[in-house]
Amino acid sequence: MARKNQTLGEFIIENQSEFKYSSGELSRLINAIRLAAKVVNHQVNKAGLVDILGGVGDTNVQGEDQQKLDVIANEAFINTLKNREIVCGIGSEENDDFITVEGHNDDHNNKYVILMDPLDGSSNIDVNVSVGTIFSIYRRITDPGTPVTLEDFLQPGRNQVAAGYIIYGTSTMLVYTTGHGVNGFTLNPAIGTFYLSHPNMKFPEEGNIYSVNEGNYTHFPQGVKNYIKYCQEESENRPYTSRYIGSLVSDIHRNMIKGGIYMYPKSSLNAKGKLRLLYECNPMAFITEQAGGKASDGYTSILDLQPTELHERVPFFCGSKKMVEKAEAFMAESL
């Protein structure tokens, strides 16, 4: 039974049996993520005091400008995860290809692969807006003892055994699920410990917030335009409030607490959408469904999509169940 204010370590131990194939792996893996999160949190909080703001002059595989903190966060998570005897492969939004990780004895017997966006919303760093980390964990499907292959990473979201995010904001929170609900832990920076602060997090079934970059309105499909107009109409419960931060973690986190829908549809600017299926959409969809919400590409559940490449992009609609279903209805009408 989750007890508010218990530590993350205590929570993991008490709920170890809920982790599929459990034999201690969850503790080591979540502990590695927890440690890396504290390292990144420390760096984020120094932004402006030391030279870690701004770009590095390079672009990542998606052609996006890399920020200095992108690189710092990526290295922090990769190095921390490599030092644990559990992950056999790492996929990162910042790397062209996946990373093969050998075990302690130079074997390939570790069981899990992890995919991550080490610093979501990094374009907001320079203006002191909340950023985050997103992670997704799968059990490998190739035989232990052999190096991981692309097949281990290109699994549908339904196969996730755990997923979560860390939000670096007014407080630092780690929110995650192992398929048995969603729980949030807040970092006490004075002693470096995460405490359970948001047990059994749930999306309200209905909400009054819609989150979308309306600056791209003219480029959206007609179904999305129609839904936005619906959100803005005067009625008993509308117009809805428009709230868009531009950091996926922050927008989803707010909507899970207050009720709302997040949308990043395809457009004439991004024909396949902009968000990455493996690093952003799948983990957020898993968390959302475990919190009673819904996530889709406008027509199909995100978790049912079969990935075809590491950096695949898809449209993304995520949030309170009834709001997502309403958006899907507008999409279907415009076909």
- In Å, how far are 110, 208, 271, 290 from 298, measured between CA atoms? 36, 19, 14, 19
Both tokens assigned to 320: 């309170």
Beta strand 313-314 with 275-276: parallel, antiparallel or unpaired? antiparallel
Question: Read out DSSP for 95-129?
Answer: SSS-EE---TTS-----EEEEEEEEETGGGGGGT-
Tell whether 119 is in a known binding site. yes
Tell whether 120 is in a known binding site. yes
- In Å, how far are 8, 202, 270, 283, 327 from 291, measured between CA atoms? 19, 4, 29, 12, 19
Tell whether 247 is in a known binding site. no
Both tokens assigned to 119: 């610093």
CB–CB of 114/135 below 8 Å? yes
CB–CB of 163/33 below 8 Å? no
Tell whether 97 is in a known binding site. no
Tell whether 123 is in a known binding site. yes
Tell whether 121 is in a known binding site. yes
Tell whether 17 is in a known binding site. no
Greatest distance between any 2 Cα atoms in the chain: 65
CB–CB of 316/299 below 8 Å? no
Using DSSP, state whether 280 is helix, strand or coil. helix
Tell whether 274 is in a known binding site. yes
Tell whether 264 is in a known binding site. no
Task: Indicate the angle between helix axes 222-232 and 321-333, nearest 10 degrees.
Answer: 130
Q: Which residues are annotated as a binding site for substrate?
A: 120-123, 213, 244, 274
Q: Which residues are annotated as a binding site?
A: 93, 117, 119-123, 213, 244, 274, 280
Q: Which residues are annotated as a binding site for Mg(2+)?
A: 93, 117, 119-120, 280
